[in-house]
Amino acid sequence: MLPQKILMCKPEYFDVTYYGNEFMKDNIGKVNKAESMKQWYDLKEIYESLGFEVSLIPPAEGLVDMVFTANQSLPFTDASGNKNVILSKMKNEQRQSEVKHFRKFYENLGYKIHELPDDVKYFESMGDCVIDFERNILFGGYGFRTDEKTYDYIVNLTNFNVVKLKLINPFLYHLDTCFSVLNKDSAVIAEDAFEAQSLECIKSYFPDIIKADAQENLKNFVCNCHCPDGKNVIVQKGSVKFKEDIKNSGFSLIETETAEFIKSGGSVFCMKLMLY
Ligand code: ARG
């Protein structure tokens, strides 16, 4: 089943207050709050204009990264169509209390909630899990924010076929910063993010590979684009090569501004979760 809803969280308390990844390092205290709010509303409107219902989880004071709703949970449906969710174990302590708000959110919706056992230290859900819904494949990144071991549990809990990928570039610390599935044939990849075997592996799944330019990806997070419907690709504006590549592959490009969120190491893909 394809998730048809989008979950977002208003950036009421969004800020960069600590050094949690390489992008945050030089941006502490530099967020323009009014601008971030505008950028968030623009993104929400894009999803609505594409026909998606956008659900909202209330922001919590002090949780500056809660706007990145890709990271706290992994929703899925089981063989009988029941709604389930696996809760994250956030690596940075500044983000750990976000998860209890998501737990409450899912409890209210009647989801069956799964927690990972003690031997899994870290798991950041859809930051590291990029799913090909047409083929039911879950690509699972590990190395920075997620333990490889997590995927042993995910294989057992879900119906996804799991493909593990090792990340080696600290700037590309989540799988969604270096890989995006556009549809079952096309994907965007930052080659400098992966350990050699993982790179070969991921390429073998897609006949049409769009290679992100390393500089464009660092500046504009092009691999953090999102294609919610197999046709439209939403991305941070301003990349020349990416724009060309996307059009040549037959997709429509929707450019938007997310610069305030890139200061925190996230863009389009991180700012939403696909929900059942
Ligand atoms: N500041 C956030 C963090 O370091 C950014 C998260 C971006 N999310 C993502 N899915 N890549 O955790």
- Write the pLDDT tens digit of every residue in 95-115: 999 999 999 999 999 999 999
How far is the C-alpha of 137 from the C-alpha of 265, rounded, in Å?
26
Q: What is the mean pLDDT of residues 167-181?
A: 98
Cβ neighbours of 3 (radius 10 Å):
17
**CA nearest neighbour of 175 among 163, 183, 167:** 167
Closest residue CA from atom 6 of ligand 1:
266
Cβ neighbours of 31 (radius 10 Å):
20
Edge-to-edge order in the sheet of strand 5-8: 53-56, 5-8, 273-275
- Write the pLDDT tens digit of every residue in 19-52: 999 999 999 999 999 999 999 999 999 999 999 9
Which atom in ligand 1 lies closest to the alpha carbon of residue 128?
10
Question: Mean pLDDT across the chain, nearest whole number?
Answer: 97
Q: How long is the chain?
A: 276
What is the pLDDT confidence band of residue 9, given thresholds at 50, 70 and 90? very high
Please give the structure tokens belonging to residue 268: 């389009």
As for how many domains the chain has, the answer is: 1
Strand duo 232-236 + 252-256: pairing: parallel
Using DSSP's 3-state secondary structure scheme, residue 256 falls into: strand
3-state percent breakdown (helix, strand, coil) of the chain, nearest 5: 30, 25, 45
Query: 114 C-alpha vs ligand 1 centroid, how far in Å?
Result: 22
Query: 183 C-alpha vs ligand 1 centroid, how far in Å?
Result: 24
Is residue 24 within 8 Å of 16, Cβ to Cβ?
yes
- Write the pLDDT tens digit of every residue in 153-165: 999 999 999 999 9
- Write the pLDDT tens digit of every residue in 205-216: 999 999 999 999
Specify the pLDDT at position 13. 98
Domain containing residue 182: 5-275
How far is the C-alpha of 140 from the C-alpha of 67, rounded, in Å?
22
Q: Which ranges of 73-195 would DSSP assign to H, the alpha helix?
A: 98-109, 150-157
Closest residue CA from atom 7 of ligand 1:
266
Query: 266 C-alpha vs ligand 1 centroid, how far in Å?
Result: 5
Query: 80 C-alpha vs ligand 1 centroid, how far in Å?
Result: 32
Site to probe by mutation for ligand 1, drawn from 16, 22, 25, 65 as the one with most ligand atoms within 8 Å of Cβ, is 65
List of residues 6+ apart from 41 with CB closer than 8 A? none
Specify the pLDDT at position 1. 64
Specify the pLDDT at position 252. 98
Is residue 85 within 8 Å of 112, Cβ to Cβ?
yes
For the Cβ of 47 lying below 6 angstroms from any atom of ligand 1, the answer is: no
- Write the pLDDT tens digit of every residue in 135-155: 999 999 999 999 999 999 999
Which atom in ligand 1 lies closest to the alpha carbon of residue 70?
10
What is the pLDDT confidence band of residue 2, given thresholds at 50, 70 and 90? confident
CA angle 160, 142, 149 (to 5 degrees): 65
How far is the C-alpha of 172 from the C-alpha of 180, rounded, in Å?
13
Q: What is the CATH number of the domain that holds 91?
A: 3.75.10.10
Provide the percentage of residues in the chain whose pLDDT is more than 90. Answer: 98
